[in-house]
A and B are shown apart, each in its own frame.
Chain A
Amino acid sequence: MKILVAVKRVIDYNVQIRVKEDGSGVHTDNVKMSTNPPDDNAVEESVKLKESGKVKEVVAISIGEDKAQESIRKALAVGADRGIHIKSDSYIEPLGIAKILKKIVEKEKPDMVFLGKQAIDDDCNQTGQMLAAMLNWPQATFSSKINLKDKSIEIVREIDEGLETIEVNLPAVVTCDLRLNEPRFASLPNIMKAKKKPMEQLNAKDMGVDLTNRIEQLKVEEPPKRKAGIKVANVAELVSKLKNEAKVI
Chain B
Amino acid sequence: MAREAMEYDVVIVGAGPAGLTTAIKLKQLDSNLNVCILEKGSEVGAHILSGNVFETKALDELLPNWKNEGSPIKTKVSKEKFLFLGKNSSLSWPTWLLPSVQKNHNNYIVSLANLCRWLAEQAEKIGVEIFPGFPASEVLYNEDGSIKGVATLDMGLDKDGNKKDTYQEGMELHAKVTVFSEGCRGHLGKQLIKKFNLDDGKDPQQYGIGLKEIWEVSEQQHQEGLVMHTAGWPLDNKTYGGSFIYHAEKRQIYLGYVIGLDYQNPHLSPFDEFQRFKTHPSIRKMFEGGKRISFGARALIEGGIQSLPKMYMPGGLLIGCDAGTLNMPKIKGSHTAMKSGIIAAETIVESIKNKTDLSIYEKKFKESWIYKELHAARNVKPSFSWGLILGIIFTGIDQILFRGKLPFTLKHKHADHEALKPASQMPKIEYPKPDGKLTFDKTSSVYLTGTNHAENQPVHLRLKDPYLPISYTLKEYDEPAQKYCPVGVYEIQQEKFVINSQNCIHCKTCDIKEPSQNITWVAPEGGGGPKYGNM
CA A182 to CA B450, docked complex, whole Å? 22
Q: List the interface of chain A (C-beta within 8 A of B).
A: 12, 14-16, 18, 21, 29-32, 34, 182-185, 187-189, 191-192
Check: B114 CB closer than 8 A to any chain A CB: yes
One of A31, A182, A188 near B533 (C-beta < 8 A): A31
B114 surroundings in chain A (CB, below 8 A):
30
B168 and A187 contacting across the interface, CB-CB below 8 Å: yes
Check: B499 CB closer than 8 A to any chain A CB: no
Q: A32-B42, A184-B166 given as contacts; is B450 within 8 A of A14 (CB)?
A: yes
CA A30 to CA B42, docked complex, whole Å? 13
The range of chain B's interface size is: 20 to 34
Q: How far is the CB of A156 from chain B (nearest CB, A)?
A: 19
B447 and A16 contacting across the interface, CB-CB below 8 Å: yes
Complex interface residues of chain B between 97 and 148 (CB less than 8 A to chain A): 111, 113-114, 117, 129, 131, 134
Nearest opposing residue in chain A for B111, CB measure: A30
Sort A-B residue pairs by CB-CB distance and give the 7 closest, nearest first: A32-B531, A14-B452, A14-B450, A15-B450, A185-B155, A30-B533, A185-B168
Q: How far is the CB of B504 from chain A (nearest CB, A)?
A: 13
B45 and A15 contacting across the interface, CB-CB below 8 Å: no
Check: B165 CB closer than 8 A to any chain A CB: yes
B168 surroundings in chain A (CB, below 8 A):
184-185, 187
Would you call the interface of chain B mostly helix, strand, loop, or mixed?
A: mixed
Q: List the interface of chain B (C-beta within 8 A of A).
A: 4, 6, 42-43, 45-46, 111, 113-114, 117, 129, 131, 134, 152, 155-156, 164-166, 168, 171, 173, 216, 293, 447-448, 450-452, 526, 531, 533-534
- 14 of the cross-chain contacts (CB-CB < 8 Å) are A14-B452, A29-B534, A30-B45, A30-B113, A30-B114, A32-B533, A182-B166, A184-B156, A184-B166, A185-B155, A185-B168, A185-B526, A188-B134, A188-B173
Q: A16-B447, A30-B45, A185-B156 given as contacts; is B129 within 8 A of A192 (CB)?
A: yes
Nearest opposing residue in chain A for B117, CB measure: A30
Q: How far is the CB of B442 from chain A (nearest CB, A)?
A: 15
CA A83 to CA B176, docked complex, whole Å? 35
Q: Known pairs A14-B451, A29-B533, A185-B168; list 14 more (Cβ under 8 Å).
A: A15-B450, A16-B448, A21-B216, A30-B534, A32-B42, A32-B43, A34-B42, A184-B166, A184-B168, A185-B155, A188-B134, A188-B152, A188-B173, A189-B171
Q: How far is the CB of A195 from chain B (nearest CB, A)?
A: 9
One of B6, B165, B531, B533 near A189 (C-beta < 8 A): B6
CA A196 to CA B505, docked complex, whole Å? 35
B117 surroundings in chain A (CB, below 8 A):
30
B534 surroundings in chain A (CB, below 8 A):
29-30
Q: How far is the CB of A227 from chain B (nearest CB, A)?
A: 11
CA A15 to CA B535, docked complex, whole Å? 14
CA A30 to CA B450, docked complex, whole Å? 13
CA A16 to CA B452, docked complex, whole Å? 12
B6 and A188 contacting across the interface, CB-CB below 8 Å: yes
One of B4, B6, B111, B531 near A15 (C-beta < 8 A): B531
One of A29, A32, A184 near B46 (C-beta < 8 A): A32
A185 and B452 contacting across the interface, CB-CB below 8 Å: no
CA A14 to CA B171, docked complex, whole Å? 27
One of A12, A32, A34, A182 near B165 (C-beta < 8 A): A182
CA A177 to CA B165, docked complex, whole Å? 19
Q: How far is the CB of A18 from chain B (nearest CB, A)?
A: 6
CA A30 to CA B43, docked complex, whole Å? 10
A31 surroundings in chain B (CB, below 8 A):
533
